[in-house]
Amino acid sequence: MAFSKIAAENLGGSTLPALAGGSLTGISAGKIAQCVNSVFSNNNSTNSSTYSATSITKAITPSATNSKVLVIINVSSMYMANSETNIDLGISRSGGSSGDGTILEFEGTAGYDQDNTGGGAGGTTITYLDSPAVNSAVTYGINFRSSNNSHNVYINHWIRGDVRPRSSITLMEVLA
């Protein structure tokens, strides 16, 4: 189907109203109000079966209580030190209306080593859309623990070479 151009004189002196995408589709989508990001290169390790904080954290202050926060965390160079150990990961939040602590767990997805030597798991990316329901600072991060609390697990693990691994966290405020 071809569309033809309408000449201005055929509009009767009127102008067409501006339309938002939602008017055309019936979908009202949020807009990104702000985006913050940090990159971390320091090695973190634990042998605890209780969640421990890592250095991967970032704060954002939503402009409205009905805003959502899109959390994107890239964890690099995970390493399990010994036998049958995996890294459990959890997104942490402090400052949200529903309380602080680990808000979402990603157990067992970050690697598993079934022999007596260490093993690397590469990295993983975690994406989560949160509703903190505040317009004050909210800090997000990644917590981790060892599934076998006698062996260390690591993130941003570096063994040799000049290139250090880096993990990152990106937070985006999505307006309602």
Cβ contact 135:170 at 8 Å: no
- What band does 71 get if pLDDT is binned at 50, 70 and 90? very high
Q: Is 118 strand, coil or helix?
A: coil
What would the pLDDT profile of 72-105 be if each residue is shown by its tens digit?
998 876 666 665 677 788 888 988 776 666 666 6
Query: How long, in residues, is the chain?
Result: 176
Separation between Cα atoms, residue 100 and residue 83, nearest integer Å: 33
